[in-house]
Amino acid sequence: MTTSARDTLSTNVALPTEEVYPPSAAFSEQANASAALYDEAEADRLAFWATQAERLSWAKPFTEVLDWSEAPFAKWFPDGKLNVAYNCVDRHVEAGNGDRVAIHWLGEPVDESETLSR
């Protein structure tokens, strides 16, 4: 039997856990997620994720949020069907945002760039 380097590595690595790097007040003020959002998720995680999923356009709406019948494998929104391309691009164009920049890529050197839109 051979022993790989991975088998001989110790997984008992002590990482510092005392250090906290809070975001600046300016960053927190413009953040998409607030403390209330975290509280909502903690209060009822399945209802929280159902609410988040309802923000998407479903080709076939889901009726079940989470299926744990084959644990440890979870199936989220197992009976729903999404068109991911539609959700990523088309619905935003239909909402009148087709002329907005979708991706602005900045390369190295920094004078190399490309803007992608509809």
3-state secondary structure 43-56: HCHHHHHHHHHCCC
Tally of domains within the chain? 2
Give me the DSSP letters along 24-46: PHHHHHH-S--HHHHHHHHH-HH
CA distances from 67 to 6, 36, 77, 83, 84 (A): 34, 26, 8, 21, 21
Cα–Cα distance, 100 to 118 (Å, whole number) = 8
Is 97 domain-assigned? yes
Query: Are residues 73 and 111 both part of a single domain?
Result: no
Is 48 domain-assigned? yes
Could you tell me if 35 and 43 are in contact, meaning their C-beta atoms sit under 8 angstroms apart?
no
The model scores a pTM over 0.75: no
pLDDT tens track for 4-36: 555 555 566 667 678 888 999 999 889 988 889
What is the pLDDT, as a whole number, of residue 7?
54
pLDDT tens track for 36-86: 999 999 999 999 999 999 999 999 999 999 999 999 999 999 999 999 999
What is the pLDDT, as a whole number, of residue 113?
77
Is 38 domain-assigned? yes
What is the pLDDT, as a whole number, of residue 114?
78
